[in-house]
Structure 1
Amino acid sequence: MVEKMRAMVLERLAPIETGPLKLKEIERHQIKTPNEILVKIHACGVCRSQLHGIEGDWVKYGIPPALPTIPGHEIVGEIVEIGSKVTKFRPGQRVGISPLHGSCMACDYCRIGKEHLCDAADITGESMLGGYAEYITVSEDFATAIPDSMKSEYAAPLFCAGITAYKAVAAAEPAHGKKVGIFGVGGVGHLAVEFAKINGCRVIGVSRGKNHLDVAKKVGADNVIQYGSDQSEFLSTLKKEEGLLDAAIVFAPSENAVGAAIKSVRKGGTIVLGVLANIPDFDVFSEKTIRGTLIGSRQDMHDVVRLAKEYSIGIVYESHHLEKANDVLVSLKQSKIEARAVLTP
């Protein structure tokens, strides 16, 4: 008898308000290779990138690569079965799965520990069926152990929002006393505030909404500044309260915000982009550096979990049942999610 599982399946691209994700019973994942593990999902975080994929915003980037599919790429669950050659885990252990579901392990990037840049990487919830479901399989090499002390709903956001924030802060070259602005303090940005504080930075949270500024203060931002559409007004306030920044990290999906971030940084400073955006009005003579950032390696993922435990990082999240995925994504689209939402089967 074929075992079944519940999953929120995307069969067509459409506005999230139309409820394109459908709760279905489909064939449950089965272990197919000796090094795979079968995981019963406890929690899966909800990421804005899924919203872009579901609504068709990223078709030009090949996302999603095929339909039907199951979104979801920040997953925590319990191992219920292991392949014959698995040595790192045993049934009953909890693990997390990030967007990096697998890579070729042989290219130049994989050989130097940057497997997240592998051209043949498999992406959870895109090229591979994702976590808006009850079960998933993954190679033991691309699963990360979860400490017993971590609640699954707490840990799940670490596997995309957490590693994205961690890598973005690292790209900003943090140091004690360095002034870092976080533009867009939502599901990813609030964790970037905390990683920057761990590194001794003075952190300025920047966001349009008061609720997100309140989140920034809650997790330790030294100052917050509200951002409208008027760059001049924002820059005037910033210079008055803080002076120019040493670095800016952008998670706000707005080219206006990207432009403001570039202008907010002193000459020779660094701007890290965690969003897809054109780069407006860049003055090459200011010797500023603009960097992109993309999730992270398996070692980065281990480091994120270690730091979350060591520093008791405060993850602001709310939990919802799996079948409410459409409603949760609508709330995310309308900026009604305080920081991160998590689905539980």
Structure 2
Amino acid sequence: MSKMRAMLLESLAPIETNPLKLREIDRHQIKRPNEILMKIDACGVCRSQLHGIEGDWKKYGIPPALPTVPGHEIVGTVIETGPKVTKFKVGQRAGISPLYGSCRECDYCRVGKEHLCDLAEVTGESLLGGYAEYITITEDFATIVPDSMESAYAAPLFCAGVTAYKAVMASEPERGKKTGIFGVGGVGHMAVEFAKINGCRVIGFARSKSHLDVAKKVGADNVIEYSSNQGEFLSSLKKEEGLLDSAIVFAPSESVTDAAINSVKKGGTIVLATFGNIPSFDVTQEKTVRGTLIGSRKDMADVVRIAAENDLKVIYKTFPLEQANQVLMQLKQSKIEARAVLIP
């Protein structure tokens, strides 16, 4: 059987110990008639992989088994198709999001919310992950990537992009609405843009100047440094902007979530796009707190279309596949400006 290079996680450990090992493993082969085989061109690096590798998310069952190949925002070139494939031809490019598959029959799947399916399969929580040279997937769960997009540009759209888009839509964006983005990194910088496309006034919040600069670069109307002293932070916000109509939280921190809830006016909406607890909630203010999770296949296709139509800025830097440990270390240290992309 043909082999392929992959960064394999054999045991959970701090990223400082270089737990991802470059291995030669069996190359994936088409097993179902509706599958495509892709040669991976690019795979974005998501913070969720860091949490999975280091064992932070064991309580959520992530990863479900070892060994595994991480990576769930993938763009590649189709090199082989199953006999029943009609959507793709050899030579076309396709993208894969965290949503690798679903049952297609439950109440969620029937209404186009297959990402909520109890049997949904997640890319990169098995040996089918993007930190490798090849991957297979059924044609229905792969998205066509237009010729106008470079693979390294498109890859972050397939997790960061759809997560940002879905979170913005959950905030019920409207022209002139004041929306705060808490955490302007790999996901947050795209949320700034999706909110601007929808006509919102967007304020970016981050602890570091580099991330505030990213928010400005992609069109935030204002940026405010986040302070762990909530009183000081809310005072700065009220002085510069007043209270927000909505807030979207990408920073996995209870204190940030609490500050976001308190930064929104009565009757406003707070969207949580990360794991975390809600420290306190005053029901008398009639605020809505809403969770959001990646997106459906339609959401994914919409993100690719909107990115192409609006020349969406995706801020990324490429690295060789073999440097996955070092890249995740930089991510842990907040040294990645926005998104890192691995190139096999």
TM tier relative to shorter chain: over 0.9
Instruction: Count matched residues.
Output: 344
Is this contact kept in 2: 1:322–1:344, CA < 8 A?
Answer: yes
Aligned residue in 2 for 1:323: 322
Distance across 2 between alignment mates of 1:274 and 1:211: 22
Secondary structure class of the residue paired with 2:86: coil
- Deviation track 1:213-269 (CA, whole Å, cap 9, x = no partner) reads 000000000000001210000100000000000000000111111000000000000
Q: CA deviation at 1:62?
A: 0.5
Distance across 1 between alignment mates of 2:226 and 2:110: 42
- Deviation track 1:189-217 (CA, whole Å, cap 9, x = no partner) reads 00000000000000000000000000000
Distance across 2 between alignment mates of 1:136 and 1:300: 22
Aligned residue in 2 for 1:336: 335
Distance across 1 between alignment mates of 2:320 and 2:62: 25
Aligned residue in 2 for 1:295: 294
Secondary structure class of the residue paired with 2:31: coil
Distance across 1 between alignment mates of 2:127 and 2:240: 47
Is this contact kept in 1: 2:67–2:127, CA < 8 A?
Answer: no
Distance across 1 between alignment mates of 2:126 and 2:76: 20
Secondary structure class of the residue paired with 1:156: helix
Letter in 1 for 2:24: E
Distance across 1 between alignment mates of 2:99 and 2:36: 15
Secondary structure class of the residue paired with 1:42: strand
Aligned residue in 1 for 2:194: 195
Letter in 2 for 1:244: L
Q: CA deviation at 1:280?
A: 1.2
Distance across 2 between alignment mates of 1:60 and 1:127: 17
Written as runs of structure 1 = structure 2, the 5 A alignment for 1:1-345 is: 2-127=1-126, 129-345=128-344
Distance across 1 between alignment mates of 2:276 and 2:39: 36
Q: CA deviation at 1:55?
A: 0.2
Is this contact kept in 2: 1:101–1:128, CA < 8 A?
Answer: no
- Deviation track 1:121-142 (CA, whole Å, cap 9, x = no partner) reads 1100014520000000000000
Is this contact kept in 1: 2:321–2:343, CA < 8 A?
Answer: yes
Letter in 2 for 1:86: V
Q: CA deviation at 1:35?
A: 0.1
Q: CA deviation at 1:118?
A: 0.4
Letter in 1 for 2:343: T
Is this contact kept in 2: 1:248–1:265, CA < 8 A?
Answer: yes
The TM-score, its normalising length taken from structure 2, stands at 1.00
Letter in 2 for 1:144: T
The TM-score, its normalising length taken from structure 1, stands at 0.99
Secondary structure class of the residue paired with 1:72: coil
Secondary structure class of the residue paired with 1:166: helix
Is this contact kept in 2: 1:178–1:202, CA < 8 A?
Answer: yes
Distance across 2 between alignment mates of 1:133 and 1:297: 24
Gaps of 5+ in 1: none
Letter in 2 for 1:284: V
Q: CA RMSD in A?
A: 0.5
Distance across 1 between alignment mates of 2:127 and 2:169: 28
Letter in 1 for 2:98: P
Distance across 1 between alignment mates of 2:6 and 2:47: 19
Distance across 1 between alignment mates of 2:60 and 2:271: 21
Letter in 2 for 1:279: I
Distance across 2 between alignment mates of 1:300 and 1:272: 17
- Deviation track 1:69-107 (CA, whole Å, cap 9, x = no partner) reads 000000000000000100111100000000000000000
Letter in 2 for 1:171: A
Percent of pairs with identical residues: 76
Gaps of 5+ in 2: none
Distance across 2 between alignment mates of 1:84 and 1:147: 23
Secondary structure class of the residue paired with 2:40: strand
Letter in 1 for 2:207: R
- Moved runs in structure 1, 4+ residues, more than 4 A? none
- Deviation track 1:260-290 (CA, whole Å, cap 9, x = no partner) reads 0000000000000011111012101000000
Distance across 2 between alignment mates of 1:207 and 1:213: 6
Is this contact kept in 2: 1:116–1:296, CA < 8 A?
Answer: yes
